[in-house]
Structures are given as structure tokens and as C-alpha cells.
Amino acid sequence: MEEPLISSLRRALASSPDDIPLQLLLGRLLFTAGSSAEAVSLAAGVLQREPGNTDARQLMTDALTGLPAEHVRAPVTEPSVTEQWVAEAPAARAPAGPEPTDEATAETSEPENDVATGVDAAADTDPTEFDWSAAENDVHELAQPMFVDATPTVAPGSGFDIERSVITLADVGGMTAVKNRLNAAFLAPLSNPELRKLYAKSLKGGLLMYGPPGCGKTFIARAIAGELGARFLTVGLADILDPMLGNSEQNVHEAFELARREAPCVIFFDEIDALGQRRSQTRNSALRGTVNQLLTELDGVADQNEGVFVLAATNQPWDVDPALRRPGRFDRTVLVLPPDEEARESIFRYHLQHRPVEGIELKPLARASAGLSGADIAYVCEVAAERALMDSATTGSLRLIGMTDVTDALAEVSPSTSSWLDSARNVVLFGDDDGTYTELKAYLKKARRL
């Protein structure tokens, strides 16, 4: 049963959620009452708004350092799944050896392995070390899933995940150029049927997003689905690939059928370069017919179905079969580049907001991270958290993630987009200048890569 004062403060905070002193008071009471995780969450919320708030920092430190130390153990580094099966296959045939295992069973059998290797036994001998499991339990409520706003469901009778996305382009930080292009090429004609009729603008065809990996193409696709109030169906190579002759084509057809049944629906082909590879390069029988099937379905979409919007993403548009790029198919392209400064700030905010941070200045971080992809920034935050965590483990006293952790992590991480940009530069330098990559060319020139 919760204390009446806490309950009363909760109600007060619900009516005025921006009241910082109230948050801190409730946090302090919750900490005293033993709800450290909630206290940390409240303190993190205050620090997010007021990074220099000393009371919040104190509460955060108190709440974090007040963790009980029961099960102390050292971190265990597991070999990768592929390493396991390659290395252990002969041992698996021997009676005493461990069974080779897939990823799922490896996770569930981990505690047994720990017991077998005596890690827990060793842990009990040194109570001064940092309590990893207790810390995990305490902060586990703080770690939110990356995207909670879309609820995937498996459509009955198919292996495809279909979800209803509630994120919109407003949730995409920065990237104004991309949003404008999306609006002009895709969203405005869809949302203005009268104007569309007036200008005789066809809805036929899909939109191809291309750009370096980790720059948010899939996120934008979801946002488009949210913007259109449509369901979102992701189709990847693994969903389509089938060794039986004709089954891959059938899977492509089923994906489109499902999208038609669930209309309005965005059907999103991830890594379209793999699925719709140039037919001259496709030597594999399992994929030979998929490009043709894709073409058939794309040609049929506008005539047969209303409300099916076809999107695709690729890192290598130059590998996509040219037939797929012809008018009426993926004839509209949008270049999704590494995030601009505003977007980088949003990404830093997103990845740090649920972590115990103090004194983080997002603008300098955004300025210093030019060229990094969204995935790179996520990794920077991960490295920064790791540094603070390891430091806490080494010193025995927990501390918040500070600006130095992030800037040091930033210095360690180099842009993963460089190799893509090198390839893109070669495409622009040596390929036929038919206007396909005008946007890319302009960017490379601006970035002094051309």
C-alpha cells in the first residue's frame, strides 16, 4: 500500500507535470520508500530539462548508489553464434561437449553456462565489486524499447508483419529537404485529390529512398505510413526468399495481396537492391523471377488497387534493376542523407533521454557530429553509457553520463557513411550523367567530396 503523501503528490504531479520541485520532492520520497527506479526516472526527467539542477543530480546519485549488492559477478563475453557453431560442431558430437545452439537457445541457456563455468561461484567471493544484476533490475524500468509506437502483428495466413504506425514526419527531427521532397513527390498528391485531378497527376508508381546505411530510411517509411494513416507492411529479402522454384515470386504476390486486403497500406521493400537486383547480375535461380514478379505487381497496383503505397529503400540504387526505375514503377527517388544538425540534435536527445545524464549540451554535440549517421549517433550514446558504466564499476560509485563521456565517445566513432559516400562519388564520377543522381551530385559537391 502506497503512502498517502506519495499518492497525493502523484496526483498533484499529474495535474502539473512540469513542476520540478514537486518532481524532486516526490522522487526523494519514493527513494526513501525504496522505489529507487522511479526516483531515478523522475531525476532523469528533471535533468533532461535542467541539466545543472544539483538537487536532481543528488537525487539521481543517491537513488543509484543506494542499490543493494547481492549477486556480484563479472561480465561474461559470449562468442558469437557463428563462432560457436563453427568451433563446437565436432565437440557437439562428443558426449561431454556442449550442444551447438542457435541464438534463441543461447540466450535462454546462459545462466546454466554461468553455473557450469563457475562464474557465480567466483562472484560470491568479492562483495566489493559492482552489482551488475541488481543494477540491471533497478534500471530496467528506465530502458524503454526503441520504438513503442508501432504494434506489429502477423497477418493471418502469411508470414508478413503488418503494423499500424503512429509516428509521422513530425517525429522525424530535422531533414527538412527530405520532408519537402517527400511532400512534393508523394504526400501532397495523395492528400489533395482535387489538385491531383486538376494537374492530372498520376498516383501510379512507388517511391525509392536511397542513401547511406543507418540514416533513417526505414524510420521515414514508417513515418510516411503514419502520415497517411495507413498500415505498414515491411518486406525484406528473408520474407521473400524461398528455395522452391516459383515460391519467391508467389511470396512477392502474397505481399501485394496482403497490402491490398489491408488497404490503406504502405508496402515497404527494404534492401530492394537484393530483391530487385539487375537481372544481368542475377545468377541465382531463387531470385531470377522475383524482379519480373515485382514489375508485374507494380504495374498492377494503380489499376487494381486503391490505397496501396509502394515504398522501397536501398543503400545501392545503382544495383537496382533499371526496369524497376522506369516511369510508373519506382520513378520517384528521395535521397536520405546523413542527418543535418537539427536532426542530429534530435537523435542525441532521443538516445540520451532515458539514460541517467547530466550537463549534456546537445547543440555542441550536434555540431561536432557532422557526417555521422543516426546509427552512428546511437552508437556514440552507447559508448558514452558504457564508459560511465565501466567507470562506475571500477570506482565502485555510480555516476551519471556526462558531456565528457559523450565527447570522448564522439572522438572514438568515425562515420560509417564514408565508404558509401566513396562509392557514391564513383557513381557520380564515372556513371552516365542522365540526371538520376543530380541530388547526390549536389550533396557531394557541397560536402567537398567531388
Partner 1 sequence: MTHEDSALVNARTYLSLGKPADALRALAPHLASNPDDDRGLCLASQAHLSAGQAAQALGSARQAIALTPDNEWAWRLVALAYSKLGNVAEAKAAASTAQAIAPGLWVTHAQVAQVDIAAKRITGDAVEAAREAVRLAPMEPDAHLTVGNVALAQQDWAAAEAAFRASLRLQPDHPAARNNLSLVLLRQGRAGSAAAGFIDILVTDPASEVALRNLRAVAAVALRRIHFILWIAFAIVTVAFSGASQPSDSPVYGLVWQDFLIATAAVSGIFVGVYIVQLRRAAGRRFGRFVRSIPRLDRLLVVWAVLLVGDYALIVAACFTSVRMAQLLYLVAGAFLVAGSIVVIVRRRRSVERVV
CA distance 421 to 355: 32
Shortest distance, position 169 Cβ to partner 1, whole Å = 30
Shortest distance, position 371 Cβ to partner 1, whole Å = 18
Omega into 156 within 30° of 0, i.e. cis?
no
Shortest distance, position 362 Cβ to partner 1, whole Å = 34
**Nearer residue to partner 1 within complex by CB, 242 or 342:** 242
Shortest distance, position 430 Cβ to partner 1, whole Å = 4
Which DSSP string corresponds to 303-342? HH-SSEEEEEEES-GGGB-GGGGSTTSS-EEEE-PSP-HH
**Nearer residue to partner 1 within complex by CB, 41 or 234:** 234
Which DSSP string corresponds to 232-289? EEEE-HHHH--SSTTHHHHHHHHHHHHHHHT-SEEEEETTHHHHTB-TTT---HHHHT
**Nearer residue to partner 1 within complex by CB, 394 or 438:** 438
Q: Residue 213: which residues within 8 A CB-CB, separation 6 or more?
A: 315, 373, 375, 416, 417, 420
Shortest distance, position 85 Cβ to partner 1, whole Å = 5
The answer to whether 379 touches 338, Cβ cutoff 8 Å, is no
Report residue 203 as a C-alpha cell.
Answer: 498516383
**Nearer residue to partner 1 within complex by CB, 219 or 318:** 318
From edge to edge, which strands make up the β-sheet containing 308-314? 150-154, 161-165, 231-235, 265-269, 308-314, 207-210, 332-335
Shortest distance, position 315 Cβ to partner 1, whole Å = 10
Shortest distance, position 272 Cβ to partner 1, whole Å = 12
**Nearer residue to partner 1 within complex by CB, 367 or 449:** 449
**Nearer residue to partner 1 within complex by CB, 185 or 427:** 427
CA distance 330 to 165: 23
Q: Residue 299: which residues within 8 A CB-CB, separation 6 or more?
A: 328, 329
**Nearer residue to partner 1 within complex by CB, 41 or 277:** 277
**Nearer residue to partner 1 within complex by CB, 18 or 434:** 434
Give the position of cell 543494477.
135
Shortest distance, position 258 Cβ to partner 1, whole Å = 22
**Nearer residue to partner 1 within complex by CB, 83 or 126:** 83
3-state helix, strand, coil in the chain (%, to 5): 55, 10, 35
φ and ψ of 117, to 5 deg: -90, 0
Shortest distance, position 292 Cβ to partner 1, whole Å = 17
Which DSSP string corresponds to 96-114? TSPPP--HHHHHHTHHHHH
Residues in the site for partner 1, rule: CB under 8 A? Answer: 81-83, 85-87, 89-90, 92-93, 99-103, 237-238, 241-244, 274, 277, 280-281, 283-284, 286-287, 318, 419, 422-427, 429-432, 450
CA distance 302 to 36: 56
